[in-house]
Amino acid sequence: MSGTFVGMPAFPPPVYPAFPVAAHEAVNNQTLRGNLRHATHTIRAKRAKAVAELSDWAALREAGKQIKDHTLRHLDRYLLQLEESVTAAGGIVHWAADADEANRIVTQLVQETGESEVVKVKSMATQEIGLNEALEAAGIRAYETDLAELIVQLGKDRPSHILVPAIHRNRGEIREIFVREMSEWGRPAPEGLTDSPAELAEAARLHLREKFLRAKVGISGANFMVADTGTLVVVESEGNGRMCLTLPETLISVVGIEKIVPTWQDLEVFLQTLPRSSTAERMNPYTSTWTGTTDGDGPRTFHLVLLDNGRTDTLADEVGRQALRCIRCSACLNVCPVYERAGGHAYGSVYPGPIGAILSPQLRGTASEIDASLPYASSLCGACYEVCPVAIDIPEVLVHLRERVVEGGPVTREGNKVVLQPAKGHAAERAAMRAARWTFTHPGALRTGQRLASRTRRFHPRTLPGPGKAWSGTRDLPAVPAEPFRDWWQRTNGGKDEAK
Amino acid sequence: MRVALFLTCVNDTLYPDTGRAVVKLLTRLGVEVDFPMAQTCCGQAHYNTGYRHEAEPLARHFSDVFGEYEAIVTPSGSCGAMVRELYPRMGERARAEGRGDTLAATLAPVVPKTYELTEFLVDVLGVTDVGAYYPHKVTYHPTCHGLRSLGLGDRPLKLLRAVKGLELVELPGADECCGFGGTFAVKNADVSAAMGADKVRNAESTGAGVLCAADNSCLMHIGGTMARLHTEMRPVHIAEILAATEGATEVGTRAVTEEEPRA
Amino acid sequence: MSSRERILGRVERALADVPRDDTPYDQAFARGYLREHGDRSVEQTVELLAENLADYRAIVHRTDPEELPYLIMRLLAQRGPQYVLVPPGLPPEWMSAADPTRVHDRAVSTPHELDKVESVVTGCAIAIAETGTIVLDGGPDQGRRRITLVPDHHICVVRVPDQVVSSVPQALQRLDPTRPLTWISGPSATSDIELDRVEGVHGPRTLEVVLVSGQASAEVNS
């Protein structure tokens, strides 16, 4: 694969190193390890408790999976229905095939209002397409209003978590960022600000209030779009979402096409599973739903930008398409032992953690170093699948994408079927796998190898040089026994002779 | 009852004592054990690293070797999960690739009769007290594929609780992965090692002398980490604990044999 | 080709491997989950609502219609606001004993003007016991969405048991999706610092919910 691919904004995104390289840094950063450990362990226990409150959790999870699968299976029909109902309710629907197009549409819509600043609700889709940078290039300033996004924006940082983009920061670091940076963007941090979370939240309230009150354009994503009613849903905690959705005169929502559910009733599943899976609450503090525009209440103009950007390519993969069920709860990140130690930045994408490891290489393709390494960023322990409220079998998709990396094969990119070549850099591994396969289909050869290992065992080192260090740098090698089991079995007639 | 022992390639080559323990234990319980000499590897490492097509001949070979037995018992949660969970998936994928039902049909017979050892003991033989004696303080690490793919649940704990002399202590963060993950251990060595070190620290905090699990590949990683961190604990496969009886020498070499001189 | 056609075409091609399926939507999947959790009397459902509201730091009061005006008066007096926002259809008797100057929710008010008002009193559309949620639908006693957002103190009156449902499924069944809805579960909060919940960010930091009983004797809707 060469040239541009779906998901690449007009200005080239940073080139991220392969996952193990980035993870190496993170693993050795003790502050980061401590922050992540603390945060993920806090939420894990709470989630388990919130989920245990619902005796029908398994049925809700199954229904969520089936509703999403059904929707994906008839996605074209539901997209058309949604377009019709949003339009009937006074909204204006736009279609964006990729990031560039979405950014162009939004930039133009903002320019048409004559405004040069917008307030934003936290949105994965707009992060994915790099909307803030595109707006900046057009002279439009985008203010992130979610507390964690604010921390990231002020700190000139990258998000590292789907729900809590500043999870890698502890309260002390957040205080420092506020004190140092807030004055650059507007109201400075209060005098004598401490690192108490309540005070930090208060500082964000004061800093952003002026921006909310004067905002004429709000930009959001959406957690759900209801096809039959044309309703959009935003689930949030702080009230920044409500500010952006109701105070401005113009609202622009950029939403991935997979966010559809067929009917209003279907929300009864996800409004139970999402809050408990993400913030471990029975219900998040605020959920806003709106259907087009309402006279005298909220924005007078509502634009919905439906975003593809690799989603239809993902849909074309019969194993990988289940990733499109994702409702972005981030339970899989919080429970993942790899995420806990490597941190979100190592995933080189706005979608970190287990779900990111299967989404990014599908949305962006596996051509880059980072995307080809993501399917391997997992021990396949399965904890992610266990907690997923829409039952995405993440280990299954990871293994499937590993296959795509090492074997190549047919994939869909930008709507076209192409055949990928096996990735470079796996030649030695491929040869070893073939050799092992040959040995394992020839039991005699296996036995010869085992015996050789046993006879030479006194000469085996405990550590290995070169690539073997990847194991023996931190772990002793196992001692090879005097004889393999099969020799013992034969020598002792299945142990019978030994027992005598 | 006559069963086939699928020992796994790792145990056959590196941990024969686990195999001997399974034979001893099952024989004691009146089970006739056979070890088909043609057995090799289930193909899990190939499959999970992305070489599904290389894994297929191994799966077919497995089916050829074990297809005729009444039951197949393996002292490995992850190899058991490979057969039970992933062989059917391999069949489905072959079908989706337009290669018909042949692979699915070939693999189908071995799937339902493959049991992980503790499953076989509790579900098929219906025993929890296997007459073992093991006078040590032990903590148990449920390995991921046993825990989540096979759903072993509290079967291993039930078996351990019934062992005479054994003091079972709870492992903090037990259900967190140890960081082995097959090729993950070398492809993402830093993260794997960090997970292993945390697992060992949790195990040490229990004050147990033995960390027990139902998968030697995970124990190889945990044990290798323990050795490097100079902990006093030792890793022991659950089969070796369940096989131990009063008055008998422990089978586990990792437990009792002296270190041989190395070059 | 427009992007609309391009995307719809891609979807169609992406699903080429999927066997045609004409199962109607209402038979397409099993809703094997519960309509509500647990078996409760009407009183117990109201009690659960109160508990769950309080669990997420809403301040819960219980009263009857006669006492309601005095309770609202006291709650406002404790905060001492100069102005209080009222939606156009708020029952006048609710505010009959209150002192602060009433500010009416008007379309022309700017957000800056609303920001000068400290408190707001509204009714609600329904309340959900299992989650401790009140839902506003912009009805006459609730007003525009922004009036319950900008002021820092929200007093919300729930008529119990009429307006109380047990569960999320029951709530959705009773709500009108064409109206702009705001679901509120406790005061504004965030989990953004170390994934630990802290109350009080942009929305009202004090949420007082007044459960008024005795206005009607209908069963809890189910």
DSSP string spanning C136-147? E---TTT--GGG
* Domains and their CATH numbers in chain B: 2-124 (3.40.50), 137-255 (3.40.50)
C-alpha–C-alpha distance, residues B197 and B173, integer Å: 13
Q: What ipTM goes with this model?
A: 0.94
Contact (CB<8Å) B224/A439: no
A69 contacts in chain C (CB < 8 Å): 29
Lowest mean pLDDT among A12-26, A47-61, A201-215: A12-26
Contact (CB<8Å) C192/A73: no
Q: In A22-157, at which residue ranges do the beta strands (DSSP E only) sit?
A: 92-96, 117-120, 141-144
Residue A18 DSSP symbol = P
Give the pLDDT score at B256.
37
pTM to 2 decimal places: 0.95
Asked whether residue C10 is domain-assigned, the answer is no
How confident is the model over B80-131, as pLDDT tens digits? Answer: 999 999 999 999 999 999 999 999 999 999 999 999 999 999 999 999 999 9
How confident is the model over C119-173, as pLDDT tens digits? Answer: 999 999 999 999 999 999 999 999 999 999 999 999 999 999 999 999 999 999 9
Asked whether residue C127 is domain-assigned, the answer is yes
Of the residues A41, A151, A282, A416, the best mutation for testing chain C's interface (the one with the most C CB atoms within 10 Å of its CB) is A282
Smallest CA-to-CA distance from B215 within B191, B239, B179, B196 is with B239
- The 10 Å CB-count burial string (b at 16+, else e) for A89-115 is bebebbbbbbbbbbbebbbebbeeeeb
Give the pLDDT score at A12.
59
Domain-by-domain residue ranges, chain A? 1-425, 442-499
Asked whether residue C25 is domain-assigned, the answer is no
Domain residue limits at C91: 40-213
Contact (CB<8Å) A399/B260: no
How confident is the model over A16-48, as pLDDT tens digits? Answer: 999 999 999 999 999 999 999 999 999 999 999
Give the mean model confidence (pLDDT) for residues B180-189.
Answer: 95
Residue A297 DSSP symbol = B
How confident is the model over B240-254, as pLDDT tens digits? Answer: 999 999 877 655 444
Interface size A-B, in CB pairs within 8 Å, comes to 218
Give the mean model confidence (pLDDT) for residues B150-172.
Answer: 98
Give the mean model confidence (pLDDT) for residues A131-139.
Answer: 97
Residues 73-102 (C) with a CB less than 8 A from some CB of A: none
Give one word for B237, left, alpha or beta, with left for phi > 0 and alpha for psi -120 to 50: beta
Smallest CA-to-CA distance from B261 within A450, A451, A457 is with A457
Residue C222 has pLDDT above 80, yes or no: no
Residue A479 DSSP symbol = P
How confident is the model over A382-404, as pLDDT tens digits? Answer: 999 999 999 999 999 999 999 99
Residue A9 has pLDDT above 60, yes or no: no
Domain A1-425 falls under CATH 3.40.50.720: no
Residue entry with tokens 């060992």: B200
Residue B262 has pLDDT above 80, yes or no: no
Lowest mean pLDDT among A359-373, A416-430, B166-180, C130-144: A416-430
Give the pairing type, strands C196-199 and A416-420: unpaired
C-alpha–C-alpha distance, residues A364 and C161, integer Å: 52
Q: Do residues B10 and B19 lie in contact, with contact meaning Cβ atoms separated by under 8 Å?
A: no
Give the pLDDT score at B251.
52
Residue A159 has pLDDT above 80, yes or no: yes
Give the mean model confidence (pLDDT) for residues A416-426.
Answer: 89
Residue A1 has pLDDT above 80, yes or no: no
**Largest Cα span, chain A:** 95
Of the residues C7, C117, C196, the best mutation for testing chain A's interface (the one with the most A CB atoms within 10 Å of its CB) is C7
Residues 12-31 (C) with a CB less than 8 A from some CB of A: 12-15, 17-18, 21, 25, 28-31
Residue entry with tokens 């991921």: B144
Residue C176 has pLDDT above 50, yes or no: yes
Instruction: Give percent of chain C with pLDDT exceeding 70.
Output: 96
Asked whether residue C8 is domain-assigned, the answer is no
Question: Closest approach of chain A CAs to the CA of B33, in angstroms?
Answer: 8
Q: Classify A318 as helix, strand or coil.
A: coil
Give the pLDDT score at C50.
98
Asked whether residue C161 is domain-assigned, the answer is yes
Give the one of B16, B185, B225 whose C-beta lies nearest to A485's C-beta: B16
Give the mean model confidence (pLDDT) for residues B182-211.
Answer: 97
Give the pLDDT score at C23.
86
Asked whether residue C218 is domain-assigned, the answer is no
Backbone angles phi, psi at A491, to 5 degrees: -65, -35
How confident is the model over B44-67, as pLDDT tens digits? Answer: 999 999 999 999 999 999 999 999
CATH of the domain at C203: 3.40.50.10420
Q: What domain count does chain C have?
A: 1
Question: Closest approach of chain A CAs to the CA of C213, in angstroms?
Answer: 24
Instruction: Give percent of chain B with pLDDT exceeding 70.
Output: 94
